[in-house]
Structure 1
Amino acid sequence: MIYIIMGVSGTGKTTLGTFLSDKLGWPFHEGDDFHPPENIEKMARGVPLTDQDRFPWLFRLHEIIKRERCCGSDALVACSALKRLYRQILRHGSTVLTPPSTCPRPHVSPPLDVFFIYLHGSYDFIHQRLAARRGHYMKADLLRSQFDILEPPSEEENFLSLDVGRSISDMAGEVEKHVLSLKHQQQ
């Protein structure tokens, strides 16, 4: 199983991912580590990323997810995954960008072993967290741009919704219950 921890910057994706990795013994892939230098420089200057900036990054993360799935491994990946299209790229790669006119593609169902953990909270709460954070290139000024493009996941996207006002251990406990439930269903 692959769990992609998603949400705007400052929701605690890395903190939860690291905690779950230690608790479950699964590898954790921090999405920020795979941004090209140009993206990091742009965000550090306070310039929001465009879809074109994000696509190469999302393709790299898709390859990591694909590799883990092919090996039959369980893994955690942190990625903002703000738009539905981004989440489709994470699951299916560049095939979702093929124009239907040149190559009609059927509706693609989400893989049953890939889930999203949607971390969410109020703008003010998350902004306070970002403002207090030190040493990260993503500044609090860019938070509004992330909230503006955020498309929360829909029911058919296999997701678990967690309010970031809860403690890390409480959220991790909810994820563990989800994992155990799925593993039980697979048996």
Structure 2
Amino acid sequence: MIYIIMGVSGCGKTSLGTFLSEKLGWPFYEGDNFHPQENIEKMARGEPLTDQDRFPWLLRLHEVIERERSSGSDALLACSALKRLYRQILLHGSTVVAPTSSASLPSSPEVFFLYLHGDYDLIHQRMVARQGHYMKADLLRSQFDILEPPSDEENVLTLDIRKSRSEMILEVEKHIESLKL
């Protein structure tokens, strides 16, 4: 099983992923570590990424997901996955961006999205307070502007970031147990 922890910058993807990894014993892949240097520099300058900037990054993350799926491993991956198209690329790779691709492809039964949901003001406060991250709080509005919250047919578990990390982890553990039934 693969969980893709998604949401806008500053919502707590890395923090939750790190704790879930320790609790479950699953590997955790921080999506930010797969960005090309040009993307990091662009964000550090306060420039929002375009779809063209994101596509190579999303395809690299798709490769990680496929590697874990084909080995039968459980894993966690943090990725903003702000648009439905991005989530489709994570699941299906370059077939999604091919010229003949028009319809949404089905969700993968062994891949789930954990959508960390929160409001702009709370997340902006968190981003202003954090240290040492290249993603500037000024870019948060651009992420909310393009955010397409996942729908139920996308295999999503929505987590309210106002809850404690322990409460969110408990919800994920319950989700995992429900899938084993």
TM-score normalised over the length of structure 2 = 0.98
Correspondent of 2:118 among 117, 121, 124? 121
Residues 115, 158 of structure 2: 8 Å contact kept: yes
Correspondence for 1:86: 86
| 1:108, distance to aligned residue in structure 2 (A) | 2.1
Correspondent of 1:164 among 156, 161, 165? 161
Task: Give % identity.
Answer: 75
Q: Show CA shifts across 1:47-69 (max 9, x none).
A: 00000000000000000000000
How many matched pairs? 181
Structure 2 Cα separation of the partners of residues 142 and 3 of structure 1? 25
The aligned amino acid for 1:44 is A
Correspondent of 1:144 among 113, 124, 141? 141
1:183 is the counterpart of 2:156: no
| 1:105, distance to aligned residue in structure 2 (A) | 6.9
Correspondence for 1:68: 68
The aligned amino acid for 1:171 is M
4+ aligned runs moved over 3 Å, structure 1: 104-107
Q: Which moved more, 1:91-100 or 1:60-69?
A: 91-100
| 1:98, distance to aligned residue in structure 2 (A) | 1.1
The aligned amino acid for 2:51 is D
Structure 1 Cα separation of the partners of residues 44 and 37 of structure 2? 10
Structure 1, unaligned runs of 5 or more? none
Residues 113, 157 of structure 2: 8 Å contact kept: yes
Residues 20, 169 of structure 2: 8 Å contact kept: yes
Structure 2, unaligned runs of 5 or more? none
| 1:120, distance to aligned residue in structure 2 (A) | 1.0
The aligned amino acid for 2:85 is L
The aligned amino acid for 1:119 is L
Structure 1 Cα separation of the partners of residues 79 and 163 of structure 2? 20
Structure 1 Cα separation of the partners of residues 62 and 141 of structure 2? 26
TM-score normalised over the length of structure 1 = 0.95
| 1:10, distance to aligned residue in structure 2 (A) | 0.5
Structure 1 Cα separation of the partners of residues 3 and 104 of structure 2? 22
Structure 2 Cα separation of the partners of residues 5 and 39 of structure 1? 20
1:57 is the counterpart of 2:53: no
Correspondence for 2:24: 24
| 1:106, distance to aligned residue in structure 2 (A) | 6.6
**Aligned-residue CA RMSD (Å):** 1.0
